[in-house]
Amino acid sequence: MSLPAAPKSKRVLSGMRPTGTLHLGHYHGVLKNWLRLQQEYRCFFFVADWHALTTHYEDPRIIGENLWSMVIDWLAVGIDPALATLFVQSRVPEHAELHLLLSMVTPLSWLERVPSYKDQQERLKGLDLATYGFLGYPLLQSADILIYQANLVPVGEDQVAHIELTREVARRFNHLYTKQRGGFALPEPASLLTPASKMPGLDGQKMSKSYGNTIALREAPASIEKKLRTMPTDPARMRRKDPGTPEKCPVWQLHGIYSAEDTKAWVQQGCHSAEIGCLDCKKPVIDAILTETAVFRERAQEYLDDMGWVHNIIDEGCAKAQQVAQETLGEVRHAMGIRYTP
């Protein structure tokens, strides 16, 4: 008989904005990491719909359109509601109250100097981001984290500054309120840096929606095959008999993710000598990606056939999350002297 699992003492929290379809870059970067974390920690994973609204407030429909499909993507890759609490941010409005309370003690300059504030305004030129909500979104993220008293937050490089802000806000809160009213302090979270996804896209650049070089997590097999068959190769191999250099070819990068050493040796040899054609070379990659995604499509279909099941998972997750959030908020109100009932 196996021993009972050790209690998961540390809490992990992470959120994802529902602004588009998830692709293999998300899988090989963020989601595989979540799969590991859910085994080891008490995990809270949520759909950051309010965060999406800070940038997509003019076209909020895409949020609702992507929300359920994102939850299904999570479930399809194996995020397990028995191991992790899955919920939707706006269904736990306690996040908003904590955001408000923290806003009272957060100097404006702390938000203005968060690097993503100016960067994103520059990058997303088409959107008017000179809003109160956009300035405040790193603090909303702090509230997301602190309300679950999370210890670890898996994030990419671009989000590390937000975790640092969260630590500063927790320290300030603790400095102002903890001493007077004994006991409760907000724990300072640490960031758990997710290595940048090495998943290359169809053109050899990093796989990203903005480059239009993605394969969706649950893309149809025919479409996957077509994209891979038509993806560019080393331009030196104009004709079948022209030798090539794998290092100059995006297909080689995919072999780096999907192929074993013997296959890679076969590619090197066959490409340099022109003994294999590019379609031969792509075959093992096509097979590997079709196999990898077949599981996702199958699992997703089970959920798509029974959306009530998916709604239940989220209902239960929201209820569990809300219970934790309410406990923290009670302590916060008490520490601030605004809990008027015993």
> In the complex, which residues of this chain contact ligand SF4 (CB under 6 A)?
233-234, 237, 244, 246, 249, 251-252, 267, 271, 276, 278, 281-282
Q: Among ligand TRP, ligand SF4, none, what does residue 199 contact (CB within 5–8 Å per kind)?
A: none
CB count within 10 Å of CB 38 equals: 21
13 belongs to the binding site for ligand TRP (CB under 6 A): yes
CB count within 10 Å of CB 267 equals: 23
Nearer to ligand SF4, 18 or 246 (CB): 246
Nearer to ligand TRP, 99 or 218 (CB): 99
Nearer to ligand SF4, 248 or 297 (CB): 248
- State how far the Cα of 251 lies from the Cα of 41, in Å rounded to an integer: 36
Nearer to ligand TRP, 94 or 144 (CB): 144
Q: Among ligand TRP, ligand SF4, none, what does residue 278 contact (CB within 5–8 Å per kind)?
A: ligand SF4
CB count within 10 Å of CB 181 equals: 13
Query: In 3D, which of 78, 77, 81 has the Cα closest to residue 45?
Result: 81
17 belongs to the binding site for ligand TRP (CB under 6 A): yes
218 belongs to the binding site for ligand TRP (CB under 6 A): no
189 belongs to the binding site for ligand TRP (CB under 6 A): no
Residue from 11, 14, 148, 254 touching ligand TRP (CB under 6 A): that is: 14
Nearer to ligand TRP, 153 or 281 (CB): 153
Q: Among ligand TRP, ligand SF4, none, what does residue 155 contact (CB within 5–8 Å per kind)?
A: ligand TRP
φ and ψ of 14, to 5 deg: -150, 155
Distances (CA, A) of 50 to 136, 155, 323: 11, 18, 20
Query: In 3D, which of 15, 25, 36, 342 has the Cα closest to residue 206?
Result: 25
Query: In 3D, which of 21, 66, 62, 53 has the Cα closest to residue 140?
Result: 53
Nearer to ligand TRP, 92 or 285 (CB): 92
Query: In 3D, which of 82, 100, 192, 186 has the Cα closest to residue 140?
Result: 100
Interior angle at CA 183, CA 182 and CA 185, nearest 5: 120
User: Which of the residues 125 through 184 are near ligand TRP (CB under 6 A)?
Assistant: 141, 144-145, 153, 155, 159
Find all residues with CB under 8 Å of 276, minimum gap 6, and list them.
266, 267, 270
Provide the minimum distance between the beta carbon of 194 and ligand TRP in the complex, in angstroms, as a whole number: 10
Binding site for ligand TRP (CB under 6 A): 13-15, 17, 48, 51, 141, 144-145, 153, 155, 159
